[in-house]
Structure 1
Amino acid sequence: MLRLTHPDQLPEPLRQRGTVVTIGTFDGLHRGHRALLGRVTALAAERDLASVALTFHPHPLEVLHPERCPEMIVSTGQRLDLLESVGLDVAVAQQFTVELAQQSPREFVEGTYVRDLGARAVVVGRDSRFGRGNVGTVDILRELGEELGFETVVLDDVGDEAVERWSSTAVRAALARGEVDEAARQLGRLHALRGTVVHGEHRGRELGFPTANLSADTEGLVPADGVYAGWLVRCDLPAGAADARLPAAVSVGTNPTFDGQRRTVEAHVLDRSDLDLYGEPVSIELVERLRGMERFDGVPALVEQMALDVQRAREALA
Structure 2
Amino acid sequence: MTVFHRNEKKEPLPEALKGGVVAIGNFDGVHRGHRSVLERALTLAAERGVPALVLTFEPHPRTVFRPEEPVFRLTPAPMKARLLEAMGFRSVIEYPFDRDFSMRSAEEFIQTILVDWLHASAVVTGFDFHFGKGREGGPAFLMVSGERHGFTVSLMDAFRDENAEVISSSRIRALLGEGDVSAAAGLLGYRYTVEAEVIGGEKLGRQLGFPTANMQLPPEAELKPGIYAVHFRRADGTLRDGVASYGRRPTVTENGVPLLETYVFDFSDNLYGETCSVSFFGHLRDELKFDGLDPLVAQIRRDEEEARALLAGVRPLGELDARIAF
Q: Could you tell me the TM-score, scaled by structure 2's length?
A: 0.89
8 Å CA contact 2:73, 2:221 repeated in 1: yes
One-letter amino acid of the counterpart of residue 94, structure 1: Y
C-alpha deviations, 1:222-245, integer Å up to 9, x for none? 61100000011012x24xxxxx11
- Paired with 2:163 and 2:179, the residues of 1 have a C-alpha distance of 19
- Paired with 2:211 and 2:22, the residues of 1 have a C-alpha distance of 47
1:217 to partner: Cα distance: 5.8
Superposition map of 1:1-318 within 5 A? 1-6=1-6, 9-15=12-18, 18-67=19-68, 69-162=70-163, 164-214=165-215, 216=216, 221=221, 223-235=223-235, 237-238=236-237, 244-260=238-254, 261-270=256-265, 272-318=266-312
One-letter amino acid of the counterpart of residue 126, structure 1: F
One-letter amino acid of the counterpart of residue 2, structure 1: T
| SS of residue paired to 1:248 | strand
Structural RMSD (CA): 1.9
Distance 1:124 1:259, change over 3 A: same
Paired residue for 2:320?
Answer: none
1:161 to partner: Cα distance: 2.1
- Paired with 1:163 and 1:227, the residues of 2 have a C-alpha distance of 31
One-letter amino acid of the counterpart of residue 188, structure 1: G
One-letter amino acid of the counterpart of residue 244, structure 2: V
- Paired with 1:69 and 1:133, the residues of 2 have a C-alpha distance of 21
One-letter amino acid of the counterpart of residue 294, structure 1: L
- Paired with 1:58 and 1:105, the residues of 2 have a C-alpha distance of 20
- Paired with 1:185 and 1:224, the residues of 2 have a C-alpha distance of 18
One-letter amino acid of the counterpart of residue 230, structure 2: G
Distance 1:219 1:246, change over 3 A: farther
Distance 1:21 1:273, change over 3 A: closer
- Paired with 2:125 and 2:38, the residues of 1 have a C-alpha distance of 10
C-alpha deviations, 1:297-317, integer Å up to 9, x for none? 111111111111111111110
1:277 to partner: Cα distance: 2.2
- What 5-or-longer segments of structure 2 have no aligned partner? 313-326
Distance 1:99 1:115, change over 3 A: same
C-alpha deviations, 1:23-51, integer Å up to 9, x for none? 11111111122331111111011011221
- Paired with 1:182 and 1:153, the residues of 2 have a C-alpha distance of 30
| SS of residue paired to 2:72 | coil
C-alpha deviations, 1:176-221, integer Å up to 9, x for none? 111111111111111112122222111112112111112x366994
Distance 1:222 1:313, change over 3 A: farther
* Stretch moving more, 217-226 or 167-176: 217-226
Distance 1:301 1:227, change over 3 A: same
- Paired with 1:8 and 1:32, the residues of 2 have a C-alpha distance of 33
1:141 to partner: Cα distance: 0.6
Q: In the comparison of the two structures, how many residue pairs are matched?
A: 308
- Paired with 1:226 and 1:34, the residues of 2 have a C-alpha distance of 30
8 Å CA contact 2:197, 2:276 repeated in 1: yes
| SS of residue paired to 2:202 | coil
Paired residue for 2:318?
Answer: none
C-alpha deviations, 1:71-98, integer Å up to 9, x for none? 2112111111222111111210111122
* Stretch moving more, 80-89 or 306-315: 80-89
- Paired with 1:185 and 1:296, the residues of 2 have a C-alpha distance of 33
8 Å CA contact 2:121, 2:152 repeated in 1: yes
Paired residue for 1:241?
Answer: none
| SS of residue paired to 1:66 | coil
Distance 1:8 1:136, change over 3 A: farther
- What 5-or-longer segments of structure 1 have no aligned partner? 239-243
1:54 to partner: Cα distance: 0.6
8 Å CA contact 1:193, 1:221 repeated in 2: no
C-alpha deviations, 1:257-294, integer Å up to 9, x for none? 11242211111112x25333233221011110100000
